[in-house]
Structure 1
Amino acid sequence: MRNALLLAILFASSLVIYAEDYPLTLPAMPLHDPFILADAASKTYFLYTSNVASLTGEQRRGTMAYTSKDLKHWSKPVVVFTPPDTFWAHDGAWAPEVHLYRGHFYLFTTLHNEAKLIPQPSPLGRATYMRGTLIAMADQPTGPFVPLKQDGPVPPADFMTLDGTLYVDRSNQPWMVYAHEWLQKTDGTIEAVPLKADLSEASGKPIHLLKGSDAPWLNEDIVPSARGFVYITDGPELFRTKDNHLLMLWSSYEHAHGVTDAGSSYVQTVARSRSGEIQGPWEQLTPLVHEDSGHGMLFHTFDGQLLLVLHRPFRNARGKIYEMKDAGDHLEVIRERMDLDGE
């Protein structure tokens, strides 16, 4: 009887400690452009997003991370990266991702500097300025992350780009895949630039993969023009299926997006490479999730389940998790995991 009582006390104490360490759930966590790293070494999920000063106390822009053991209960966030004082940009810190590559952890996040103008004028008559994705390295998923390139983003500095992600092809060539801003292109594109083996910088010129208006579900009656309609490309993420098809998650809006129109709804969609390689050509598949949802990424749980995390709605976003099926040449949504992301 005494042993049973002692075990009950110890169990109750462990629950209290767990609740103190992981007090948050997804509905209470501000999350734009969420990215989850499943770290096998620590059996911990790291959820990265842009720093929220009111949660961390850090006033500078940067990257913060929540942690979880079960995807349901999350720790308070901690800052894992802020740009050095002398860095080329300090604003933005959008869409952070952390990838394990060759024994190190690499942070990809997008910064911008409105004081560093790009001479090329925008076809929309707007100012264009330095914006692009940096790569920073650390030995742990919690950082500290140190930028590899100090003088500018990895894509060309005269390109206004965002949302860079890592893809390593079947010949072990690393690439940064990124979105080229509608501010410069009107019809936004997704492009890829080859990287050196140590990810320190680009090793060649960018290649074109797709443009926003390629998606057949967009409003075909509206043609991008300087009169105000644009096609937006966001959040590319590459995924190799069990049957060796290469897919790309990306996000846009349900219709061509008016520059002054906030009524279009964000959508999580997907494309497939007909060649199975990054060079494409890329064909557009049916969108995966509507309802003002997007910027998703795929990951496997520690027991092998394939999940998709994205944010909804676009403003005041929260994380949503979907159980997915790898159907070989496409992805299927099985269900939203309301047990993980519900109130």
Structure 2
Amino acid sequence: MKKSFIVLILTSVLCSCASTKKSSKLAGNPIFPGWYADPEGIIFNTYWIFPTYSAAYEKQVFFDAFSSKDLTHWKKHEKILDTSAIKWAHKAMWAPSIIKKADKYFLFFGANDIQSDNEIGGIGVAVAYRPEGPYKDHLGKPLIDKFHNGAQPIDQFVFKDVDGQHYLFYGGWKHCNIAKLNDDFSGFIPFEDGVNFKEITPENYVEGPFMFIKDGKYYFMWSEGGWTGPDYSVSYAIANSPFGPFKRMGKILQQDSSIANGAGHHSVIHKKDTNDYYIVYHRRPLSDGTTRDSRETCIDRMYFNEDGTIKPVIMTTEGVASNKLK
């Protein structure tokens, strides 16, 4: 009896070690601890994720960032930007979007959750020489501080087209604008009709725009539903230009009652010269999914059909396998 018991214990330990070894090759979801939302994933020789710190608005006064060489082990870079560097911001620093231009990194962000044109806040820009900062205020004031076409100035995404032109997609309150950034990101270049902001809002759009190019097509994505509710989700459209028109094709990410609730506000990472696409998003754990700020950052694979349409994303707790960058 004693010998059998010892064998049983050893077998259990060996199985446990094998399981741990296998699981260590996967990222696991969430991919790092803490409440974080609105993640933007991007590659700068290393995988990077720039999320919103999910907390009460008055506590959202900084950004952390996370980097990884393989998608499975993440390093935290604390407070790469905070309100000490952005004097006009005092709360609700949201949804960072970053791009490299020449030798500088430009971080676009929302701040203060303004509700009218009479308040100070909107979309700002910070600049640094490294992805992890330190960042400083690029303009000393918001880049966009007014409502245009009904769009609240939040949820900005900076996009570089194939011709090198940079555009800013943004907008809350169920309206989305596109604007043509000037060369130093200090303002905008008017379109041919003289306006700076063109509305491109697709059906069911709420917030969180994102765009990428695949096989010459422009994939425009956004979040639908209420950000605090179980109906939060991601839909998309495909067009021949960054201006659309964008006809909604359907949802590709939504809650799974066996995994998590309220999945949305995402970005996409594509490893160059491969078919490896990853969707980076936030969701609410089933154990704490009714609390407003309980949002965690996750990664899962994103796949396409032969016709270029996106397959529905399967949310997992295991996450993705290691994928090292060369």
TM-score by length of 2: 0.72
For residues 163 and 149 of structure 1, the distance between their equivalents in structure 2, rounded to whole angstroms, comes to 19
Letter in structure 1 aligned against 2:138: L
For residues 268 and 25 of structure 1, the distance between their equivalents in structure 2, rounded to whole angstroms, comes to 18
Q: Helix, strand or coil: the match of 1:282? A: coil
Measured after TM superposition, the shift of residue 237 of structure 1 is 0.7
Structure possessing the higher relative contact order (Cα contacts under 8 Å, 6 or more residues apart):
2
Measured after TM superposition, the shift of residue 86 of structure 1 is 6.6
Measured after TM superposition, the shift of residue 60 of structure 1 is 7.1
Q: Tell me which of 201, 207, 217 is aligned to 2:198.
A: 207
1:99-158 Cα shifts (integer Å, max 9, x gaps): 2233321111111266x9525xxxxxxxxx444221222111111122222222x23534
User: What pairs with 1:300-315 in structure 2 (closer than 5 Å)?
Assistant: 300-301=270-271, 304=274, 305-313=276-284, 315=293
Deviates more, 1:141-150 or 1:129-138: 129-138
Aligned twin of 1:78: 78
CA contact (8 A) 2:54 2:295 kept: no
For residues 147 and 302 of structure 2, the distance between their equivalents in structure 1, rounded to whole angstroms, comes to 38
Letter in structure 2 aligned against 1:96: P
For residues 336 and 203 of structure 1, the distance between their equivalents in structure 2, rounded to whole angstroms, comes to 40
Q: Tell me which of 123, 144, 153 is aligned to 1:155.
A: 144
CA contact (8 A) 2:99 2:105 kept: yes
Letter in structure 1 aligned against 2:236: V
Measured after TM superposition, the shift of residue 177 of structure 1 is 0.5
Q: Give the superposed CA RMSD.
A: 3.2
For residues 252 and 86 of structure 2, the distance between their equivalents in structure 1, rounded to whole angstroms, comes to 41
Measured after TM superposition, the shift of residue 94 of structure 1 is 0.5
User: What pairs with 1:54-203 in structure 2 (closer than 5 Å)?
Assistant: 61-84=61-84, 87-112=87-112, 118-119=117-118, 129-152=119-142, 154-159=143-148, 160-179=152-171, 181-182=172-173, 188-203=174-189
Aligned twin of 1:50: 52
TM-score by length of 1: 0.69
Q: Tell me which of 269, 279, 290 is aligned to 1:299.
A: 269
Aligned twin of 1:332: 311
Aligned twin of 2:5: none
For residues 280 and 113 of structure 1, the distance between their equivalents in structure 2, rounded to whole angstroms, comes to 28
Measured after TM superposition, the shift of residue 323 of structure 1 is 0.9
For residues 302 and 167 of structure 1, the distance between their equivalents in structure 2, rounded to whole angstroms, comes to 17
Q: Helix, strand or coil: the match of 1:320? A: strand
- 1:333–1:178 CA distance, 2 compared to 1 (3 A): same
Identity of aligned residues (%): 20
Point out where structure 1 has 5 or more consecutive residues left out of the alignment.
1-18, 54-58, 120-128, 183-187, 216-231
Measured after TM superposition, the shift of residue 66 of structure 1 is 2.0
After TM superposition, the runs of 4+ consecutive aligned structure 1 residues lying more than 4 A away are: 261-264
- 1:311–1:147 CA distance, 2 compared to 1 (3 A): same
Q: Helix, strand or coil: the match of 2:266? A: strand
